[in-house]
């Protein structure tokens, strides 16, 4: 069996989803049919845009999509995050999510958006660029399946190397684990399930997803249509996505 597929199937089949029900058999079956979506070479935004694939996974390419301070390479441990004085990062995430909720910003109480100093994008989109939204980190606790989502641009997302125990299943088709970069074409509906390597302590069951949403000149019509007429979210009829 292909070494990459063997590793991913083992990851999906043997690890933990914090009590969530995941159709492992269906996931493994679809995973085997999507081998061509995994790119084991340098991440290239231009090449990704020029493919017809809705989703691509660049294996081990996070340092090509993002950098950290002048050192450049992304840290291998979570010590650099320094998100709060307390050592339990999961508690920090929950407290920050609750603080947003308390002031009227509705959203899940197990995730928050955080700009982490030092992280920056390395995307090179050239003259085709219309707009790049600021680099952000999504911090999440535990494991759950997201609803169907749609972004208004092209998404470049990565799991930092410091997330050694976390992984994600995108639309039950492709698997993203630490250091992988996922490219999602504009207006692609998707859902994500989070999981963790077996034996990961509860306090360490959190993950950070970094990345950017990019709009190219050729996407402007799609982006405008999305912004004015999109209706995809948890609540029927809501226009809030992400």
DSSP class of residue 30? H
Give the CB-side neighbour count of residue 90, counting CA atoms within 13 A: 10
The pLDDT of residue 227 is 61
216 close to 50: Cβ distance less than 8 angstroms: no
- pLDDT value at position 61? 95
Rounded distance, CA 38 to CA 57, Å? 5
Please tell me the predicted confidence (pLDDT) of residue 66.
92
Residue 136's Cβ-count burial label (10 Å; 0-12, 13-18, 19+) is middle
pTM, full prediction: 0.83
Residues of the chain with pLDDT under 70: 18-20, 82-87, 126-129, 147-151, 187, 222-242
CA angle 137, 181, 121 (to 5 degrees): 50
Q: What are phi and psi of 63, to 5 degrees?
A: -75, -10
pLDDT at 147: 65
Domain spanning 3-229, CATH architecture: Sandwich (2.60)
Domain boundaries, the chain: 3-229
Cα–Cα distance measured from residue 164 to residue 77, given in angstroms and rounded to the nearest whole number? 8
- Contact residues for 153 (Cβ-Cβ < 8 A; gap 6+): 131, 133, 186, 213, 214, 215, 216, 219, 223
Distance of CA 164 to the CA centre of its chain: 14
């Amino acid at each position: 069996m292909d070494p990459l597929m063997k590793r991913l199937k083992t990851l999906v089949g043997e690890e933990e989803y914090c009590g969530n029900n995941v159709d492992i058999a269906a996931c493994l079956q679809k995973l085997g049919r999507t081998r061509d979506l995994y790119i084991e070479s340098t991440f290239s935004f231009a090449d990704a845009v020029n493919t017809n694939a809705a989703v691509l996974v660049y294996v081990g390419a996070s340092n090509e999509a993002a950098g950290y301070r002048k050192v450049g390479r992304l840290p291998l441990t979570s010590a650099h995050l320094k998100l709060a004085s307390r050592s339990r990062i999961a508690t920090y995430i929950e407290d920050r999510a609750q603080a947003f909720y308390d002031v009227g910003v509705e959203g899940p109480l197990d995730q928050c958006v955080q700009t982490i100093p030092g992280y920056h994008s390395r995307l090179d989109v050239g003259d085709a660029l219309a707009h790049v939204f600021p680099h952000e980190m999504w911090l999440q606790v535990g494991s759950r399946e997201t609803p169907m989502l749609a972004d208004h641009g092209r998404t470049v997302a990565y799991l930092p190397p410091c997330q050694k125990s976390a992984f994600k299943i995108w639309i039950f088709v492709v698997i993203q684990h630490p250091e992988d970069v996922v490219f999602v074409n504009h207006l692609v509906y998707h859902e994500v399930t989070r999981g963790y390597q077996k034996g990961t302590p509860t306090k360490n069951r959190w993950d950070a997803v970094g990345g950017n949403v990019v709009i190219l000149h050729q996407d402007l019509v799609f982006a405008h249509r999305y912004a004015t007429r999109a209706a995809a979210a948890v609540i029927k009829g809501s226009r809030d996505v992400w």
